Structure 1
Amino acid sequence: MSKFLNVCQHLHSGRNTYRIVAVSFGLLCILQVAVNITLRLSVCKPKCKYPQFFGWVYFGSSLYFISSTKLPWLQSRDDCQQRGADLVIINTKEEQVGFKFHRPTWIGLTHQEETMSWNWVDGTLLTESYWAQGEPNGYMDRNESCVEIRFFEQENSWNDLPCYDQNFWICEKNAL
């Protein structure tokens, strides 16, 4: 009888081992799926069409952070700098047409009153622009010294407006 009980206990503990292995494998699979989804949402390969989510997006040799809240231009820039980045500088047509989030978004371009020029946050002068028709215009004699991407269905989509207005924003930092 004791041999029979030993065999039964051995079989029972073997089944428990298989159950533990099966449950552990199942949990590992669930964890792997969660990691894959998280990575997919946080780092998008260059061939991706920019999905409607917020966080860091990879494009070319840069990482871009798309905000999910609105702030004035200066606070938006401060947020970027706290992330080790700065507001986006549009260097290429691909960058300009790539971000179509269908809502106004700050970029790193401002008007310098003392020089009467448009400058990027890194100090470089604006050389190639994507102003919407009639922009920049200082609408109703307002001091519109900051720039947003506004008209998403058009390549030329920049609009000037007061820096105290609140907008979403895009940060950029080198991915290397």
Structure 2
Amino acid sequence: MEMVSYDEDPEFSMVYENFSEVSDRKAAVKSPSAEDKKGTAAEPDTGVKICRLVAVGLGLMCIIQAALNISLRLAHFSLNNSLTEERDECKKINLGIEARFRNLTEERDELYRTVYDTTVIIQNLTKERNELKRMLNDSTQQVWVSFNGSFYYVSSTKKTWQDSRNDCLQRGADLMIINSQEEQNFARRFRKYMWVGLNDKQTEGRWEWVNGNAMTTSYWSEGEPNGGRRENCGNVKNFEYDYSWNDEDCSTSLFWVCEKKTFP
């Protein structure tokens, strides 16, 4: 066959060159180079390394997670212990407060009793003081007067017949007994409307003295006694006159005269 040269035809030569370039490219695609082969062989090694790195990372994460769990458990345990100790301490404090409250309540009650007892003592002392003042006042205003073998005391206050007699008895005496004109005149000298020791309480109309002796000598005012069962106690009323006795309701409050014998 006859070989034809196309070098002489520039246009055809260009087509030929283009065709050759395309052929070379196809050949390059179909036949990889040694470097390409080396790169392709290295790709499996890189994947293994990545898998190993991922596994190591997961292992580290598991270790970290376990460490965190342990730390949380320890923290929770420590917190529980702390709360338990605080609770026990609060209980102790509460018990101490309750005990102190009971002690304060007992102290308060004891103070109340002390105040009450002190108040009672003060009241009693006040009564005694007032009684002493009254007795002192009586002793300064009225003194015992001696006459015919007896001592006589005339009150500065008024009482019923029985209360008057009780006062005389407390003084170691009794209401005055008048057995003579001399004693009658002596009683009139006090110039007071006052109880004497005469009554008919036991038997109406039977007048007797506080010593139980019957009245034998009398100094009744004109028309007396006239009270019947309503007026059973005797007194000196009209002291301006020799005959000055009067019967009166025993509950009337009058002055009184006490008599104390020098010799029983």
TM-score w.r.t. structure 2 length? 0.44
How many percent of aligned residue pairs carry the same amino acid?
Answer: 48
Query: Displacement of 1:113 after TM fit?
Result: 4.2
Separation in 2 of the partners of 1:173 and 1:86? 7
1:1-176 to structure 2, matched below 5 A, reads: 54-99=142-187, 100-114=189-203, 116-138=205-227, 143-176=230-263
Separation in 2 of the partners of 1:111 and 1:161? 11
Residue matched to 2:35 = none
Deviations 1:133-158 (A, max 9, x none): 000001xx661000110111111000
After superposing on structure 2, the runs of 4+ consecutive aligned residues of structure 1 that deviate more than 6 Å are none
Query: Displacement of 1:101 after TM fit?
Result: 2.4
Separation in 1 of the partners of 2:218 and 2:246? 11
Asked if the contact 2:201–2:233 (Cα under 8 Å) also holds between the matched residues in 1, the reply is no
Query: Displacement of 1:175 after TM fit?
Result: 1.6
Higher relative contact order (CA 8 A, sep 6+): 1
Output the aligned Cα RMSD. Answer: 1.6
Partner of 1:79: helix, strand, or coil?
helix
Instruction: Look up the equivalent residue of 1:109 and give its one-letter code.
Output: L
Which has more strand, going by share of residues? 1
Deviations 1:19-72 (A, max 9, x none): xxxxxxxxxxxxxxxxxxxxxxx8xxxxxxxxxx62210001000111111000
Q: Gaps (5+ residues) in structure 1?
A: 1-41, 43-52
Partner of 2:212: helix, strand, or coil?
coil
Query: Displacement of 1:114 after TM fit?
Result: 3.2
Partner of 2:251: helix, strand, or coil?
coil
Partner of 1:169: helix, strand, or coil?
strand
Query: Displacement of 1:115 after TM fit?
Result: 6.0
TM-score w.r.t. structure 1 length? 0.66
Partner of 2:200: helix, strand, or coil?
strand
Separation in 1 of the partners of 2:229 and 2:179? 28
Taking a change above 3 Å as real, the CA distance of residues 164 and 172 of structure 1, as seen in their structure-2 partners, is same
Instruction: Look up the equivalent residue of 1:135 and give its one-letter code.
Output: E
